[in-house]
Structure 1
Amino acid sequence: MALDPTLLSILACPQDKGPLLLVDDELLYNPRLHRAYPIEDGIPVLLVDEARTVGEEEHEALLARAKGSAAD
């Protein structure tokens, strides 16, 4: 289930209040803090305690996947 583009445009990271990248309708990613927020059953889980920290290698992969998603 894809996130509504309008919803995506207003969602923000709960930690730094900045914009998030959508990665393959699987997660929302904050590249500034290297934090990934899950999307469960089409619902973003924007809780700091539910986010996971992303290492440098995965960070690069997520950025590439997010750019690919934006091109669709």
Structure 2
Amino acid sequence: MKPDNPLLKILACPLDKGPLILDETGGSLYNPRLHRRYPIIDGIPQLLPSSGEPVVEPAVVEEHDTLPARLSDSA
């Protein structure tokens, strides 16, 4: 999945129904509010609640801390 894919605007977390962020390096969609990651397998996002996994990796937490600044820049 590419960052400019129009599907990214309509995909939502199955738990809180909020927007997801594409993590190109990990091949997944990330929910910064719940700190959950949903895998993308063969180009298909796996958005079942049971397919999500909690994220506690330091690199992702650091990226999460910069998200409000990045989101406001893109608005």
Equivalent in the alignment of 1:34:
35
Q: Name segments (4+ residues, structure 1) moved above 6 Å.
A: none
What's the counterpart of residue 61 of structure 2?
60
Identity %: 52
Gaps of 5+ in 1: 68-72
| TM-score normalised according to structure 2 size | 0.72
Number of equivalenced pairs: 67
Counterpart residue number, 1:10: 10
Counterpart of 2:40 in 1: which secondary structure? strand
Structural RMSD (CA): 2.6
**Quick check: which has more Rg, 1 or 2?**
2
Q: 2:24 & 2:18 partners in 1: Cα distance?
A: 19
Uncovered stretches (5+) of structure 2, i.e. residues with no partner? 71-75
User: Which structure exhibits the higher relative contact order, with contacts defined as CA atoms closer than 8 Å and separated by 6 or more residues?
Assistant: 1
